[in-house]
Amino acid sequence: MARLTLETPADVRLLDSGISVGEALAAFNAAYPDAGGIATFLGKVRPDEDVRVLELTHYDPLTLPGMRELADKALTRWPLDGVLVWHRIGVMHPGEGIVLVAAAARHRRDAFHAVDFLMDYLKSAAWLWKREKRADGWHWIEPRAQDFADRNRWA
Amino acid sequence: MARLTLETPADVRLLDSGISVGEALAAFNAAYPDAGGIATFLGKVRPDEDVRVLELTHYDPLTLPGMRELADKALTRWPLDGVLVWHRIGVMHPGEGIVLVAAAARHRRDAFHAVDFLMDYLKSAAWLWKREKRADGWHWIEPRAQDFADRNRWA
Amino acid sequence: MSVTVLFLGPLRDLAGVPQAEYPAPLDWDGLLAAVSPAVAEQLREPRVHVACAGRVLSDKADLAAQDGEEVALLPPVSGG
Amino acid sequence: MSVTVLFLGPLRDLAGVPQAEYPAPLDWDGLLAAVSPAVAEQLREPRVHVACAGRVLSDKADLAAQDGEEVALLPPVSGG
C-alpha cells in the first residue's frame, strides 16, 4: 500500500474531498517515531439540528497561509515534534470529517495543549466561512461567544 | 477488509501485541457517527534515555476491571458518546504504542477533558507495573510527582 | 484600469454577486461608495476585515488598491 | 490448606520469587511474619496495597485470607 507522505514538522492542508482519518493518523504516527505521545482531534459534521449539508468557503491567498502561521505558532509555543492541521472545504454531509488536528510531543500535556490551541484558533480565527443547509434553506454560521472565550484562554 | 468491531459505549482492552492505531481510530470514528468530535491520545515508548525494551506487568483480577471502572467514570463525568481505552502489556520496544485512548462527544472540550482524565489515571492509578531495560539492566518505574499532581486536578 | 472586489461568506449573499469590478485606484471612501448601502454598512463594522493583494489591512481605512489588484471583503469567520 | 501470595512489580525482585504458598488462614500479622523482612518493610508503606480474592483491601490490616484464596501484594503502579 502506498504510504501517505507528510511534510514535517507541519503538514497543513485544505482538502476538497473526504479526510481518511485512519490513514492520516497512521502516517502521522509513523512520521514521528521519537515522540512520546500523539494527541489528535477530529471534528465532524453533526447530524443533529436538522442540518442536511454544510459548506465551507475559503479565500485562497489567505486561508492556507493563515493555517501555516497558526501551525508555526503552536510549534514555537510548545516543545513539539510536529503537527498536522487539515481542514475540509466545499460541501460535506453529516458524519463527515471537517477538521483533523494532531500534535506529536515528548510529553503528553504539550501535545494536548497544542491540539486544543489549534482547534480554538481554527474555530474562530481561520479564514473560513461556514453555512448550513436546513429544511428552511441556507444559514451562515458565526463563532459563538464560547468560541471567542476559548480562544482568549491562549492570549 | 474485515472491520474491527468495538464495544460501545466503552471498549476497554489489555493487548499483548502491537496496537494498530490507524485501524483502531478508523473503527472508533465509524462507531460514533453522531459525535461532533473525537479526541485521542497515543502514548509510545520513547527511544531516548537509553531504553532498550520496556515491560508492563498486570494483575488479571484487578487490571482490566479497574480500567473498565475508569472508563465508566469518564462516561458519567462528561456527556460522551463513547470511549476507547487500550493498554499494552508485555514486552515492547522504542517507538511502539503503549496506550491508546479516545473519546467521542458532541462538544470538543468534553472529548479533550475525558482523554486527559483517562490518561492521568492510567499513568498513576491503573494496576500496571512498568520496568525499563537500559544498558545497566532493568529499572522499575514509579509515577513522578507530576503524575500525581496531574491526577489530583480531577479530584 | 480596474480593481476586483470579492465578497466572501455572507457578504456574497448581501452583495448578490461573488465579485465586482470597480475603477482603479480604489480607496476606502471609494469602496464604501461603490458597494451597495447594505454591504457598506457591514464594512463599517469593526469585525469585518479587508484584504488587498493577499494581505489583511490592519486599518481598512488605509485601502489603496491599484489597477489589477484584488480586494477581499472578509466577514467574521467560522471554521472547524 | 494454603494461601497463594503474589509479589507484583518490584516486589517480585525483592521477594526473589513471583509467588509463594503460606498456610491458611493468613492474616496481616501472619503475612508480615511469612514474607522476608525486606518485603515486610515495603508492605508497611501506605503506598503498597494488598488484594485478597480479587478485591483491594481498603485497610490491609483487615486481611483474612482463607484456604485457596489468592493474596496480591501491590506496589505503586506506573502505567501509560
State the pLDDT at residue A2: 53
Q: Which residues on chain A are in Cβ contact (under 8 Å) with C80?
A: 43, 87, 98-99, 119, 122-123, 126
Nearest residue on chain A to B123, judged by CA atoms? A108
With b meaning 16 or more CB within 10 Å and e meaning fewer, what string describes D9-26?
Answer: bbbbebbeeeebebeeeb
User: Which pLDDT band, with edges at 50, 70 and 90, does D80 fall under?
Assistant: confident
CATH topology of domain A10-152: Aldehyde Oxidoreductase; domain 3 (3.90.1170)
What does chain C look like in DSSP terms, one character per residue? -EEEEEE-THHHHHHSSSEEEEESSEEHHHHHHHS-HHHHHHHTSTT-EEEETTEE-SSGGG-EEPTT-EEEEE------
- Residue C73's contacts (CB-CB under 8 Å, 6 or more residues apart) are C5, C6, C7, C8, C11, C35, C39, C43, C48, C50
Note whether A108 and A36 are within 8 A (CB).
yes
End-to-end CA separation in angstroms for chain D = 39
State the pLDDT at residue B46: 85
> Once rounded to an integer, what is the mean pLDDT over residues B17-23?
90
Interface predicted TM-score (ipTM) of this complex, two decimals? 0.92
Tell me, yes or no, if B4 comes closer than 8 A to chain A by beta carbon: no
pLDDT of B57 > 90? The answer is: yes
Read off the pTM: 0.93
Most confident of A70-74, B2-6, B132-136: A70-74
Tell me, yes or no, if D14 comes closer than 8 A to chain B by beta carbon: no
Tell me, yes or no, if C56 comes closer than 8 A to chain A by beta carbon: yes
Domain boundaries, chain A: 10-152
State the pLDDT at residue B1: 47
Radius of gyration of chain C from its Cα atoms, rounded to whole angstroms = 11
Subunit contact A124:C56, Cβ cutoff 8 A = no
> Once rounded to an integer, what is the mean pLDDT over residues A134-147?
88
> Once rounded to an integer, what is the mean pLDDT over residues A4-29?
94
Query: Out of A86-100, A107-121, A134-148, which region has the weakest mean confidence (pLDDT)?
Result: A134-148
Tell me, yes or no, if D13 comes closer than 8 A to chain B by beta carbon: yes
> Once rounded to an integer, what is the mean pLDDT over residues C10-18?
96
> Once rounded to an integer, what is the mean pLDDT over residues A138-142?
90
> Once rounded to an integer, what is the mean pLDDT over residues C17-39?
97
Q: Which residues on chain D are in Cβ contact (under 8 Å) with B99?
A: 79-80
State the pLDDT at residue B49: 67
Q: Please tell me the distance from the alpha carbon of residue B119 to that of residue B106, in angstroms, as a whole number.
A: 20
Q: Which of B44, B119, B130 to mutate to test the interface with A (most CBs of A within 10 A)?
A: B44
Note whether B64 and A73 are within 8 A (CB).
no
CATH topology of domain D2-74: Ubiquitin-like (UB roll) (3.10.20)
Kindly tell me whether chain C and chain D come into contact, counting contact as 3+ Cβ pairs under 8 Å.
Answer: no
> Once rounded to an integer, what is the mean pLDDT over residues A51-55?
92
Tell me, yes or no, if C46 comes closer than 8 A to chain A by beta carbon: no
Tell me, yes or no, if A49 comes closer than 8 A to chain B by beta carbon: no
pLDDT of D1 > 90? The answer is: no
Nearest residue on chain D to B118, judged by CA atoms? D80
**What SS3 state is found at B60?**
helix
State the pLDDT at residue B36: 92
State the pLDDT at residue B111: 97
pLDDT in tens, D26-45: 999 999 999 999 999 999 99
Q: Please tell me the distance from the alpha carbon of residue A52 to that of residue A57, in angstroms, as a whole number.
A: 17
pLDDT of A1 > 50? The answer is: no
State the pLDDT at residue A66: 97
pLDDT in tens, B85-141: 999 999 999 989 999 999 999 999 999 999 999 999 998 889 999 999 999 999 998
Q: Please tell me the distance from the alpha carbon of residue A23 to that of residue A29, in angstroms, as a whole number.
A: 10
Domain boundaries, chain D: 2-74
